[in-house]
Structure 1
Amino acid sequence: MTALIWLLSGCVTLAAVILLYWMIHEALRVVINPVEFKLSRLPRSFDGSRILFITDIHRRHLPKELLMSLKGQVDWVLLGGDIMEKNVPLSRVERNMRLLSSVAPVYAVHGNHDYKADIVSLDQILRLCDVNLLMNQNVKLEKNGSFIWLTGMDYSNIRLKKYSPLPKLPNSEMDVCRLVLVHDPAWINRFSTKPADLVLAGHTHGGQIIFPWIGPIHLDKCYRDIASGLVEWEQEDTLITRSRLFVSRGFGYRHLPLRFRCPAEMNLITLRSNEEDSLA
């Protein structure tokens, strides 16, 4: 009986070690996951455009060799907030931002942890590294003589549950394809008619730790249906007949470097122009 107990104890310990190793591996994984969207309002000249989308870096080092391999291969880099967190060395943040700026033009929004950390120093680093910070602003992304709108929503009011109004587009350009970059995906719930062709968000970490049958153990109920991946809405009698929300699992982690069934990711988004407006 004693030998059996020792055997069972050894098996449990081994299983726990393997599980811990796997959770650390998922948290520190360095992978760029491709995703492709067909947008009916996307100009033909934008077909094949690529966006490197990164959210929730927190305290991680971005992979230099992997990202530099994308130089000249992507059109824009979009950062979905939580670029840093408390007690992260500013030298690390600057190193990450300089790396991304060398890949392609960078546009960013704040996340909740950016405001909990040193937001003044962060914004100075963003300016120094030529990162375009969007605080409830519209900018044009141009390519081959055409353009689309990118709207960046700031987190400063969202964290207080007070949402800044969506910045208006010129009346003559309301039918132009629009992307929205926002940290918190719950922002989309304030709109009965979704206001963008594609919304990119993070914040949830995908749930970070997801147990079978139980689901994510540290994720508010309001995020359960938008924890990660793609959500779509069909809309009649609107300029945007199909709106999409894409939520990245993010590159970083909360607290300890542990993930389970929810590995870290960056996303390489390819935009396609298609009249049928269907997901590839």
Structure 2
Amino acid sequence: MRNISQKLKYPILGLVSAIALLVIWSFIEPRVLNIETETAKIPNLPPSWQGKQIGQISDFQIGLWGDNRGTARRSVAKLVEAKPAVVLITGDFIYKPGSNIKPEIETAVDIVRPLIEADIPTYAVLGNHDYGMSSRSASPQTEQAERLRTALESAGIKVLDNESVQLQLPDSDDTLYLVGIGSLWANRDDPEQALSDVPDSSPRITMMHNPDSFEKFPANSAPLAVAGHTHGGQLRVPGLPQWSWLRFTQKDQVYADGWAKGFGEPGNQLYVNTGIGMSIAPIRLFCPPELTFFTLQAD
């Protein structure tokens, strides 16, 4: 028996040490910003938009204990340095609206304000947490969401809610449409309404918070769509992004990270950003925070 105990001693110590290291790293990894560069093809893209960059960040979750506001600020600093043509922020600025969310709103706005000061056109949609919804069964806190929307727009960030805007470069009249979808969990996502003012076959980018909204888009109506919400699963198996915490907690198929191949209608493509912040606990494992740059090309 003693020999068996001796033989097991070191493997057990090794296992315990490995687990301890993973736990420690899960609190460090949120401070490691991953910058992804992608090429996005858009039918009928005007020549002036060829090669231009679009930046995407998502899911700050300001207000979670131990939130990741430092990395959020660094992601914005990287965007200011790169100065893309447009920046898209795909929701969940704050974590859990309460009786007094003024500090969280002020922090979120302060984080993104440098984008406006750098004259970078910046657009946003709201997510479920911006409505105080940590689950689909929760009641949306519309008043709190409106307070956030007002603060963002006062700072110069346009918040889209089932609507489109025309994007134009300073030295060109060529138009690229941006379509923004409301929060799915708040029962505010309406692609039909959002697309109503977009001419057929016109070049467009679509942004939403929840990837599940993407399934509602008709074929060939969202050649480039971006979303957040999933946090990449937050805890993942290294090298296997689809094997995440979401895989074990969601009944339906979840696209947690990167291009959602085979998802949605023909002619539509969705990219899911893993976000900056976190839910429940301020940890990430093999799923670092993400800043994404898309280089536009004509298809």
TM over 0.5: yes
Deviation at 1:14, TM superposition (A): 1.5
Q: Which residue of 2 aligns with 1:259?
A: 284
CA contact (8 A) 1:206 1:249 kept: yes
Establish whether residue 188 from structure 1 lines up as the match of residue 214 from structure 2.
Answer: yes
Q: Which residue of 2 aligns with 1:115?
A: 131
2:41 partner amino acid: K
Q: Which residue of 1 aligns with 2:233?
A: 207
- Residues 246-255 or 65-74, more deviating: 65-74
Establish whether residue 231 from structure 1 lines up as the match of residue 260 from structure 2.
Answer: yes
Deviation at 1:139, TM superposition (A): 0.1
1:252 partner amino acid: G
Deviation at 1:159, TM superposition (A): 1.0
User: Residues of 1 paired with 2:77 and 2:39: CA distance?
Assistant: 19
Q: Which residue of 2 aligns with 1:140?
A: 166
User: Residues of 2 paired with 1:123 and 1:244: CA distance?
Assistant: 27
Establish whether residue 105 from structure 1 lines up as the match of residue 133 from structure 2.
Answer: no
Establish whether residue 46 from structure 1 lines up as the match of residue 49 from structure 2.
Answer: yes
Q: 1:93 aligns with which of 108, 129, 147?
A: 108
Length-normalised TM-score, structure 1: 0.83
Q: 1:70 aligns with which of 61, 76, 80?
A: 80
Q: Classify 1:23/1:194 alpha carbon distance in 2 versus 1 (closer, same or farther; 3 Å).
A: farther
CA contact (8 A) 1:209 1:261 kept: yes
Q: Which residue of 2 aligns with 1:176?
A: 202
Q: Which residue of 1 aligns with 2:23?
A: 20
What is the number of equivalent residue pairs in this alignment? 266
Deviation at 1:185, TM superposition (A): 0.8
CA contact (8 A) 2:160 2:182 kept: yes
CA contact (8 A) 2:76 2:114 kept: no
User: Residues of 2 paired with 1:234 and 1:15: CA distance?
Assistant: 37
- Residues 44-53 or 9-18, more deviating: 9-18
Deviation at 1:160, TM superposition (A): 4.7
CA contact (8 A) 2:220 2:266 kept: no
User: Residues of 1 paired with 2:195 and 2:216: CA distance?
Assistant: 16
Which sections of structure 2, spanning at least 5 residues, go unmatched?
63-67, 98-102, 133-140
**Per-residue deviation, residues 176-233 of structure 1 (Å, max 9, x unmatched):** 1111110011112124525222111111111111237892223524343x22211356
Q: Classify 1:259/1:21 alpha carbon distance in 2 versus 1 (closer, same or farther; 3 Å).
A: same
User: Residues of 2 paired with 1:154 and 1:65: CA distance?
Assistant: 24
SS in 2 for 1:259: coil
2:35 partner amino acid: I
CA contact (8 A) 1:252 1:264 kept: yes
Report % sequence identity: 25
2:49 partner amino acid: F
Deviation at 1:162, TM superposition (A): 6.4
SS in 1 for 2:270: strand
User: Residues of 2 paired with 1:23 and 1:159: CA distance?
Assistant: 28
SS in 2 for 1:41: coil
User: Residues of 2 paired with 1:191 and 1:64: CA distance?
Assistant: 33
1:33 partner amino acid: E
CA contact (8 A) 1:80 1:201 kept: yes
Deviation at 1:252, TM superposition (A): 1.1
Which sections of structure 1, spanning at least 5 residues, go unmatched?
none
Length-normalised TM-score, structure 2: 0.78
User: Residues of 1 paired with 2:82 and 2:32: CA distance?
Assistant: 24
User: Residues of 2 paired with 1:81 and 1:66: CA distance?
Assistant: 15
User: Residues of 1 paired with 2:253 and 2:10: CA distance?
Assistant: 42
What RMSD over aligned residues (CA atoms) do the two structures have, in Å? 2.9
Deviation at 1:163, TM superposition (A): 3.9
User: Residues of 2 paired with 1:189 and 1:149: CA distance?
Assistant: 20
Q: Classify 1:176/1:101 alpha carbon distance in 2 versus 1 (closer, same or farther; 3 Å).
A: same
User: Residues of 2 paired with 1:41 and 1:15: CA distance?
Assistant: 52
User: Residues of 2 paired with 1:34 and 1:250: CA distance?
Assistant: 15
- Residues 11-20 or 189-198, more deviating: 189-198
Deviation at 1:69, TM superposition (A): 6.4
Deviation at 1:248, TM superposition (A): 0.7
Q: Which residue of 1 aligns with 2:194?
A: 167
- Residues 140-149 or 35-44, more deviating: 35-44
User: Residues of 2 paired with 1:10 and 1:32: CA distance?
Assistant: 36
